[in-house]
Amino acid sequence: MFAARQALRSVPRQARLFSSSAPARTKVAVLGAGGGIGQPLSLLLKVEPLVSQLSLYDIRGAPGVAADVSHVDTNSTVRGFTADALDQALEGAEVVVIPAGVPRKPGMTRDDLFNTNASIVRDLATAVGRVAPTAKILIISNPVNSTVPIVAETLAKAGVFDPRRLFGVTTLDVVRAARFLSEVTGQDPASTPVTVVGGHSGVTIVPLLSQSSFGKGVQGETLSKLVHRIQYGGDEVVAAKDGAGSATLSMAYAATVFTNALLRAINGEENVVCPTFVRSPLFESQGVDFFSSNVELGPEGVKTIFPIGDLSAEEQALIDACLPELKKNIEKGKSFVNAA
Ligand code: NAI
């Protein structure tokens, strides 16, 4: 299973494992690099040994962020790109991470961001499809349940959609689940990983605590409170920031964990498995064709999509609540592209 901290820790170990043939280091672009997530994410990717070149793009501020992080004494190179240089930023990119778009303010749901972020994500996806059509695309911009289908439809219209290469980043839910469970059990979060499936908002976030060695002991009211906290943990940050945005630092960490996992898989590491929101057959018969479950990553991106496994009665009820909402969110994303 996926342990977020272990993923970061394992980089030097992997570097040693592959020392006889050095890993092919990867060019990564960040679109939205000047923002609350983009800045710390750019820094963390600068210290990621599997990155060779970092392209930082934003409609404002990316050259400054690039100049700043470029001084960090790691072996990658960094370039910043202004609003008019999106194509140049994407040239040769093998992995494109997208945190561009507006974040929530108190009282907002992620769906409230749709009107602004849908067109931002569609336009960026159009450019990726044109300039870097074989890049793996990691979507952070909310609402992820809709923005991922938007990217898929946009790429499909351009004739370059490959479902193996598109990921909604739901890692923050996995990170939160491990941390919040550890606060209940008193264990180190590194030893209490939790698989989180479904989507990335409210009721669509389904933590499978019964499959976790420590989580399965949590019952009754403690369990319902823990599930609710995992589903709505983002609201704690939005409320505490009081109008100044949503999770940025923990999100940058989570995105780095996922990017690291993908880079390790691209470099041939086996058994890299983590939950991510992808084009999925698991609930397709119920009209839900994007879903997050454990996915084994490989050199081409998605290698194997694992079923969600045995569920407790409580988890089955959570899945039942998740699916109709997720279906609505996915359809909203698709019709945004197809109505245009
Ligand atoms: P922010 O407002 O601090 O930064 C967003 C950045 O995107 C800004 O620098 C802005 O200039 C840039 N941007 C806007 N339009 C752009 C375009 N067309 N091309 C390139 N860059 C563009 O927002 P923050 O806090 O960084 O959040 C970004 C997104 O990530 C939001 O949609 C937020 O809801 C989402 N998010 C997702 C999470 C997840 O778990 N997947 C967790 C937390 C936030």
Q: What angle do CA 66, 67, 70 make, to 5 degrees?
A: 75
- Ligand 1 geometric centre to CA of 76 (Å): 24
| Active-site annotation holds for 71 | no
- Ligand 1 geometric centre to CA of 142 (Å): 8
34 carries a ligand binding annotation: yes
pLDDT at 150 over 70: yes
CATH 3.40.50.720 is right for the domain spanning 12-168 = yes
Tokens for 150?
Answer: 């938007």
Fold classification of 171-335 is L-2-Hydroxyisocaproate Dehydrogenase; Chain A, domain 2 (3.90.110)
Residue-wise pLDDT for 86-115, tens only, equals 999 999 999 999 999 999 989 999 999 999
Instruction: Give the three-class secondary structure for 321.
Output: helix
- Catalogue the E-assigned strands of the chain: 26-31, 51-57, 77-81, 95-98, 136-139, 166-168, 196-198, 205-207, 272-283, 288-298, 301-305
Q: What is the residue with the minimal CA distance to atom 38 of ligand 1?
A: 140
Span 224-235, average pLDDT: 98
What residues contact 3, with CB distance under 8 A and at least 6 apart? 178, 190, 191, 193
Query: In this structure, are strands 77-81 and 95-98 parallel, antiparallel, or unpaired?
Result: unpaired
In degrees and rounded to multiples of 5, residue 216 shows phi and psi of: -65, -20
Residue-wise pLDDT for 266-294, tens only, equals 999 999 999 999 999 999 999 999 999 99
Q: What is the residue with the minimal CA distance to atom 8 of ligand 1?
A: 35
Span 154-161, average pLDDT: 98
Residue-wise pLDDT for 12-41, tens only, equals 333 333 444 567 799 999 999 999 999 999
234 carries a ligand binding annotation: no
- Ligand 1 geometric centre to CA of 58 (Å): 10
Round to whole Å and give the CA distance between 164 and 161. Answer: 9
Q: Domain residues of the chain, as ranges?
A: 12-168, 171-335
Residue 230 gets which letter from DSSP?
H
Q: Which atom of ligand 1 is nearest to the CA of 104?
A: 34
Same fold, 12-168 and 171-335: no
Judge if ipTM > 0.95.
yes
- Which of 25, 200, 264, 334 is the catalytic position? 200
